Amino acid sequence: MTSPNHLEIGGQRVTTYFTYLQANCSMGETEFVAIRFNRTFHERFCDILVCDENVTEHGLRFRPIPGNTIFWYNTDEYGQVDDLTFHAGRPPGENGTKIGLNVWTRVDKLRSSTIK
């Protein structure tokens, strides 16, 4: 996220770790909407990725598997936001639940005096 308030309290996110702590759902993927599924490359990862018949209509989708962590860089080598990291946490489906944990590293130290 690049909103001015977030940039004021620690700067741009550099990396993200997202861990699924609990998942009792049939859906609830984390989808990287700008990265298209490539059967040649991604099909070997179907144990952690969604590889259904609609796979080419969506971005790369990680299954919500408890204990699994997704890691990515939010910026490129020049410190610019990498648009390929735009992602969405999909709803877990009817009567489903999922709980996750985000850990972000930022450009600067978080200053508690700036949190409002």
Write out pLDDT tens, residues 20-59. 999 999 899 999 999 999 989 999 999 999 999 999 899 9
- pTM higher than 0.85 for the full model? no
Q: What is the per-residue pLDDT for 108?
A: 84
* The dihedral formed by the CA atoms of 50, 68, 6 and 109, expressed in degrees to the nearest 10: -150
* The dihedral formed by the CA atoms of 81, 103, 62 and 67, expressed in degrees to the nearest 10: 160
Q: What is the per-residue pLDDT for 80?
A: 93
How does DSSP classify residue 112?
G
pLDDT category of residue 1 using cuts at 50, 70 and 90: very low
